[in-house]
Chains A and B, each alone.
Chain A
């Protein structure tokens, strides 16, 4: 299988869906002439023109609303937030409108729209620019939340998102865009369904649930722990809403131990939701309490050394696995 970067995988998904469906268009800040703040949309303007790759004024609330109106009346917008941090000014459009319109209208209107962009910390962009927004959006019925870690998942899930009849929150990552990974050939179309997780690494001793950027820290921790004889199974749910609880529970029933790793803050969020669901479904199989590793409960600092302490590190993940394994 060929290897491409995450950024290219996202771009391929957008390009293929725009080629296949005239109703699909891309809109956001700097997506056209600048080719995207992170070069995700490189080449799309020259291929599709200004009608379908739209550079907007700087107004997230504005173009979120524009997209919702267009989606309600028959188009399929892809709205790029330069980063998800900037989606907060569009919160009302997403939560009170996109997520509710199908339900409020008794199913007579729908909003087939994808909101996408990089989520979480980059490097040294400080507190207002490093939010993991997944806890905010996963709380809301009526929207899907997708958080792919690998290029293959990013492509296959984004294609599904663009074809979805409901609003989708698609969370990429600034530090993921350069990640390389295997992706099927261009002529082998792959659509990855929502609600289906993936085993990233098989193991018998402890399940690590990880999604988004910390998936890679979890993989590294698993390698280190393997050297000490602890074989971890890494399960990536890939979509947080809907959640593939069956796969997570199946893994925990095999390993009897579980650590949940996430980039968001520790209070609530999908990390806590996953723990809650696993303890209910697999209580009798657990040999230890489930532990979580997330960002420290502080706004993100700018200084590089401090930032590294805040994010879930390989060391903290390894420690948590040892704790639930009662190992030193």
Chain B
């Protein structure tokens, strides 16, 4: 099948100008494609900016805490804030999110309390997950977001299953499933895309192509021209969008969500972005990629690109920007302080939630454990 060069899976859907290195003259439009602007309300734009900045500031502080040894692991989303935040603004309360590693911020936008989110990083007695799950594997029942799977990929067929369930129950809910560029090589990606196509389920599958699967570049994951183009093989629409352009993302994801909700089936979206920082706190990216490459992508920073638009629209001044950052930092530090002072999870909780009802042998194990003095909390 020959694709036309303007096929949406081969192009790059954009609203905002890409390169920040040239200063924009006063009053000049920061949009390269104003015709694609979703024309969001001022309140929405302000809220989106606030959430993007909030997660950037939060990540900076969590990486510092990881370096100080206060938390075991962290995967920041620096440089990739636009996709999760845009997604959150496309969803209704009843919709579901099956994330990969870098979409936990969606929970915060959808109303999950920051202290509870942080408690999942610390895994202490404030954590509703009871210290069971790794950081950056957050989940929130109250906001219909599940945990992703450490073995890459399984969340995507699950997302399609949840979408099939929504169709079965006629709830009108849409499910979003995420995957990284690396995990598109997993069999689960194929299974999910195939089932989504065959079942015509109301789901949107989003691949955040951040160019690096730890140290393996996306060129070593696939010989396809793009990731989005794979959608054609499954008979579902695909779109390639600038993943550092929150307005473009809001337009593309919003349209895909609307299509799904109307019963018109799934969409596969490739969001082209870049992981500015390390894969996780366990990784040093300087050994496998060049400073020049990172610098090139710093000049496409999603927050600064959006900020230029906000200023152009008259929605953000220097004072407002400074005031917002001050407020957010205060909120984050207060939340961290609150969470850090909580006690570790109680020993008894070890035996909860393995099954709906605790079986006798776990009751026996608990009795044996509690006969001993509590062990020191360190490993």
Contacts and interface: CB of A to CB of B under 8 A. Distances in A.
- A and B pair up: yes
Interface of A: 23, 25, 51, 56-57, 59, 61-75, 89, 92-93, 96-97, 101-110, 141-142, 144, 164-166, 195, 242
Contacts of A74: 165, 169
Nearest to B127: A106
Given A70-B165, A97-B158, A109 B146 contact: yes
B353 interface: yes
Given A25-B168, A69-B159, A96-B154, A108 B128 contact: yes
Nearest to B362: A141
A104 B133 contact: yes
B354 interface: yes
Contacts of A109: 139, 141, 146
Top 3 A-B pairs, shortest CB-CB distance = A69-B161, A65-B157, A62-B191
Interface of B: 96, 98, 127-130, 132-133, 137, 139-141, 146-147, 149-151, 154, 156-166, 168-169, 175, 187-188, 190-192, 194-195, 198, 352-356, 359-361
Contacts of A70: 161-162, 164-165, 168
Given A102-B356, A109-B139, A142-B355, A62 B165 contact: no
Contact of A106 (B96, B132, B169, B359): B132
5 contacts: A25-B168, A62-B192, A68-B154, A102-B356, A105-B147
Contacts of A51: 168
A165 B157 contact: no
A65 B190 CA distance: 12
Contact of B195 (A62, A89, A101, A106): A62
Given A92-B154, A104-B133, A73 B149 contact: no
A216 B192 CA distance: 42
B187 A61 contact: yes
A69 B158 contact: yes
A242 B127 CA distance: 29
Given A63-B195, A75-B165, A102-B353, A108 B157 contact: no
Contacts of A71: 161
A27 B356 CA distance: 24
A57 B359 contact: no
Contact of B150 (A56, A65, A96): A96
B192 A242 contact: no
B160 A107 contact: no
Contact of A62 (B129, B157, B355): B157
